[in-house]
Amino acid sequence: NAGVTQTPKFRVLKTGQSMTLLCAQDMNHEYMYWYRQDPGMGLRLIHYSVGEGTTAKGEVPDGYNVSRLKKQNFLLGLESAAPSQTSVYFCASIPGGRGSTGANVLTFGAGSRLTVL
């Protein structure tokens, strides 16, 4: 049972390039989240999803797009990377959904460190 897996773990981009971060969970969780964490700061919610085919904006959604085509995957895209998007990105998931018997606490991936030059 791998839990939440993020790929890639590290990436360096030039300003204006695009990329996609992949988050995969094998726990059949309904809800998935993307957060960013900047040095010395807490996590800020970028986008989240409460089920396959649905996404919603978080606190800092600008410059990012997401897709949840499959329940187990949540993709975070940067169409035109900017230096301000240099950060560590964390994906997380919770059981969520109706009839969920599990405690709705987040299971996190190990993080993806992105540098935009």
Residues of this chain that bind other proteins (CB under 8 A): 4, 31, 33, 35, 41-45, 48, 50, 56, 58-59, 90, 92, 94, 96, 103-111
**CB-nearer residue toward other proteins: 43 or 116:** 43
Determine the Cα–Cα distance for residues 39 and 108; give it in Å rounded to an integer. Answer: 18
**CB-nearer residue toward other proteins: 19 or 45:** 45
Sheet holding 73-78, edge to edge: 4-7, 19-25, 73-78, 65-67
Determine the Cα–Cα distance for residues 42 and 67; give it in Å rounded to an integer. Answer: 24
Nearest Cα to Cα of residue 77 among 86, 87, 67: 67
Least Å distance, CB 15 to other proteins, is: 25
Determine the Cα–Cα distance for residues 107 and 27; give it in Å rounded to an integer. Answer: 10
**CB-nearer residue toward other proteins: 4 or 114:** 4
Least Å distance, CB 80 to other proteins, is: 26
Least Å distance, CB 105 to other proteins, is: 4
